[in-house]
Structure 1
Amino acid sequence: MSTPTPRRAPAGAAVLREDVTEAIRAAVFEELAAVGFARMSIEGIARRAGVGKTAVYRRWKSKLALVLDLVGAVAAQGLPAPATGSLEGDVRALLTVASHALRHPIASQVIPELLVEAARQPEIAEPVRTALLDGLDGKEGVVAQIVREAVARGELPEGTDPARALDLLVGPLYWRLVVARTELPKGYVDELTRAAVAGLRTLSP
């Protein structure tokens, strides 16, 4: 009985090499740091990554799609759900990680420009929002988990709205680090934690 000949991949089927994908992602960070989102180009990214433009377009259809994917990946990896056993501990852990995440070049350089693009192009507003809030917002987001567990422990009233909690928790950090671009004073995260926990307890269900 003869040994079957291994089947070959169909002609033209592209195999996306992970090392090339990672080289492109690294090039995006370098290009963003050098020229910003508005002046960034697929050509520049490809040149930095040492690949052709086709390699980039096989993975992402535009620079906006590329950056949205990158923002979503950073957001998802950067904000793990805390599990300290108390509302104050969870809030402090979230704010500590969020304060570091908002100092990331993706946040400081790209988020404001993405919001401008979303205002100019309403059709991309939802993808931008999804990328920016990935892992934070929604029923399975970090903030909803913090609220659910605090309610279960009796630290927050039943029916506390996670969306309003998200505004209360992350809004001040976003304002200081992304909009005003000022450093956080010493002890700011602890002060914000205490204020946010007090505020959460007064939210009307």
Structure 2
Amino acid sequence: MKPEDELTFVREGMAAIEDYLASDLVYWPLRPFSATFPSLSIGGLLESLRRLEALQARLPAQARTELEALKAHLERVREVHRARYRGKLERELSSRLDAWTWYLEDYEKHPEEVAASYPAQAHIRLKIELLLEEGERLGLDVENIRNRLRALDQTLRRNWELGPFLWEEALQAVFPRDRFWWLYGRPRGR
């Protein structure tokens, strides 16, 4: 997404966040933007905010000010709705980890076909990492999930082909190779 679109997603997401947290949904459709934007989730917000961190120089001053206000709003929501926020984070983390597991299982069965979709699927792995980071920041015990993810990463590394960064170069600043290695290459098609 372009920085302006990322900011719109964050703006609309933050406008809906209290309703989202009060709901049973893990993925909240952002109407009337649902055809343009992904559903709202904590992982989606965290990814957009991280991407905007790298791209904020491209935003006009007023938009950068708005971004700071949106980040402050998210911080307040984390505190005011702590239990709901944590619960939603845990549910999304479980959902994303299941989706990543299924992707890697499909890759093991059909490497040529499944490897081609890796750049889109890498967003799942990224959201897992950002959700884990957020969970640790909130004091959640995520060790079991980290262990499960390490095992999945070993599967990916066995079939890994180092390559260029998957997305636009400016994002490398917030997704360095040493920490986000899965964004620098792709699984072999065998």
TM bin, normalised by shorter chain, reads 0.3 to 0.5
Higher relative contact order (CA 8 A, sep 6+): 2
Answer with 1 or 2: which has the greater Rg.
1
TM-score (normalised: structure 2): 0.38
TM-score (normalised: structure 1): 0.36
